Amino acid sequence: MLSGAEVKTLWLIIRQLGFTNPKTKEMKTSDKISLSQFQNGIGKNNKGTGLSKGSIISGINGLVDKGIIWAKKANRRVSEYGLVVQKLEKTGSNLEGGGSNTEQGSGSKTEHTVDNNNRDFTKEKYIKKLVWFYQVRICPDSRLTSKGKSRIAERLEEYSPDELAEAIINFSESDWNMENNSHRGVAWFFATEDRIDSFRNLKPIEKEEELRRGTYSPEEDKIE
């Protein structure tokens, strides 16, 4: 399971790589990010983690050690970051754990304009990232079925990628749900708006119950 610092650091990297490169019109495979940008954000669309530099460095090191991201020093203040899964995709490795590879397709050539094709490409991109995040946090062996892909697309009409990631995080931090429901798959998780709402609101309820039982310790969160 990822620590709070690792989750916040990882999601900033994911958001940053989700933006199209204005020169090539393609999705970024890596980007250079400074510690101050991790703290305070990058532009209007990528809010910072709010963590201390020490926590950010700890989060980055943890993600590298777990094989989730790679990092390369660019200069004294900036390093370059990318997702290990994107390197695997280039070699034909299977992201869905036994199913067919998710293709980037012709959307990467789409003009950088707000039209239907560009929106479709953006949605495909976030579907891929959310499935990968689901695999990291909940069930590594989950496959992206056509039904699961359709369900995520529907939820992206109602929620932002960050809100859906919040549901994944909250679910993964619930011992009861991880024990009883983690095997149900992507389509089940994203099945309805009500289900996503319940997962987004799960964390406070879960903690309150664990506090009542005396089994919850704030140290377990590690979210600063």
Out of 1.10.10.60, 1.10.10.10, 3.30.559.10, 3.50.50.60, select the CATH number for domain 1-93: 1.10.10.10
Which pairs from 26-30 meet CB under 8 Å and 24+ separation? Answer: 26/108, 26/109, 27/104, 27/108, 27/125, 29/82, 29/86, 30/80, 30/81, 30/82
- What is the percent of the chain where pLDDT is above 90? 25
Question: And the tokens for 89?
Answer: 């995709």
Mean pLDDT, residues 195-205: 80
How confident is the model over 84-106, as pLDDT tens digits? 864 444 443 333 333 333 333 43
Residue that wins the pLDDT comparison between 1 and 161:
161
Question: CATH 1.10.10.10 in the chain, residues?
Answer: 1-93
46 bridge partner residues: 42
Residue 77 confidence (pLDDT): 82
34 bridge partner residues: 78
Task: Return phi, psi of residue 194, to 5°.
Answer: -60, -40
Question: And the tokens for 144?
Answer: 């992206």
**Model's pTM, two decimal places?**
0.49
Residue indicated by tokens 């964390």: 203
For residues 175 and 71, give the distance between their C-alpha atoms in angstroms, rounded to a whole number: 32
User: Sheet of 78-83: strands edge to edge?
Assistant: 30-34, 78-83, 69-73
